Amino acid sequence: MAHLVPPSIAPQVAAASSLIEWHLGAGLVAIHLFGSAVDGGLQPHSDIDLLVTVTQPPDEAVLRALAAALLAISAPPGSSPDLRALEVTVLALEHVVPWRHPARRELQFGEWLRTDLMAGVVEPPMMDHDLAILLTKVRGHSIPILGPQADQLLQAVPREDLRRALLDTVAQWNTPEDWAGDEKHIILALARIWYTAVSGGIASKDQAAAWLLERLEAPYRPVLAKARAIYLGQEEDDLAQRHDAETAAFIAHARAAIEGLAGSR
């Protein structure tokens, strides 16, 4: 299925897959590409999302070495002409099959962790409520780089667990400090969560924002439209400098709406 990988990212996906195989060895079961690369088109600052599944939890030293190695083939969004930001999640089958919520992840790699990773700080395995959302995405739309199709390997996440994960996710965004420097992503994440709360499905950031713009009350539309335009590479990101009040108002409104939708089901 690797021939379905978008050509613009195929070399980086191949490099990441080879590195993952080398570090995880015989315990590696599958690598799935998901997210913007397969469900909504890559935008200028889109990550490359990879879900890695292993038979059992790798040793701490293995995970630490893998995270350090990934730094060399990933770059912060927009900082490199050749590399995109990688986001890699490692799961052990024994902790997700049979499904339970919250599920445990063994490793999370992403550019927001670069400073810590370069200092040798690697997050330990932990329970992660967001895995209910992630696995729903992967089962719904992904490309197996290695191993079987996702729906042949991973069990479906019950709607109730997905609902709980949505509520847990929006509960973390309370004050401006919670979204400082990440305004665009959180606004678009809320659009996606809102879409899922209404439909039970998963949409790309662009698609979810377009969907919500058709339904959103007028005062909240400009900042969502702005975040979408920034994501699409059409405008500069000045949300923090010039739109802080609108951002806070949108986040509060979206959170309340999502909590009302998800909490009532």
Q: What is the pLDDT of residues 6-16, one digit of tens each?
A: 999 999 999 99
Q: Are both 166 and 145 inside the same structural domain?
A: no
Percent of the chain with pLDDT over 70: 98
pLDDT of 201 strictly over 80: yes
Q: Are both 221 and 148 inside the same structural domain?
A: no
Among the candidates 157, 186, 206, a domain finishes at: 157
Nearest to 167 by CA among 43, 258, 242: 258
pTM of the model as a whole: 0.92
The pLDDT value given to residue 208: 96
According to DSSP, the residues that pair with 89 across neighbouring strands are: 51, 108
| Torsion sign over Cα 152, 20, 105, 209 | negative
User: Considering its fold, how many domains does the chain have in total?
Assistant: 2
Q: Are both 44 and 91 inside the same structural domain?
A: yes
Q: Are both 238 and 128 inside the same structural domain?
A: no
Among the candidates 129, 157, 185, a domain finishes at: 157
Radius of gyration of the chain (CA): 18
CATH code of the domain containing 36: 3.30.460
Q: Which residue among the candidates 21, 60, 87, 183 is catalytic per the annotation?
A: 87
Q: Are both 151 and 166 inside the same structural domain?
A: no
Among the candidates 157, 183, 208, a domain finishes at: 157
pLDDT tens figures, 41-72: 788 889 999 999 999 999 999 999 999 999 99
Q: Are both 110 and 167 inside the same structural domain?
A: no
The dihedral over CA atoms of 171, 172, 173, 176, expressed in degrees to the nearest 10, equals 140
Q: Are both 127 and 150 inside the same structural domain?
A: yes
Q: Are both 152 and 168 inside the same structural domain?
A: no
Task: State how far the alpha carbon of 19 is from the alpha carbons of 28, 33, 47, 149, 155, in Å.
Answer: 12, 15, 18, 21, 27
The pLDDT value given to residue 106: 99
pLDDT of 135 strictly over 80: yes
Q: Are both 48 and 112 inside the same structural domain?
A: yes
Pairing of strands 28-34, 107-109: unpaired
Q: Are both 183 and 119 inside the same structural domain?
A: no
Q: Are both 239 and 212 inside the same structural domain?
A: yes
Q: Are both 172 and 149 inside the same structural domain?
A: no
- Transcribe 155-204 into DSSP letters: PPPPHHHHHHHHHHHHTT--SHHHHTT-HHHHHHHHHHHHHHHHHSS---
Q: By three-state DSSP, how is residue 113 classified?
A: helix
Work out the pLDDT band at 3, boundaries 50, 70, 90.
Answer: low
Residue 170 sits in which domain range? 162-263
> Is 87 an active-site residue?
yes
| Mean pLDDT, range 105-120, rounded to an integer | 96
Amino acid identity, position 141: H
42 CB neighbour count, 10 Å cutoff: 16
Q: Phi and psi dihedrals of 237, rounded to 5?
A: -90, 100
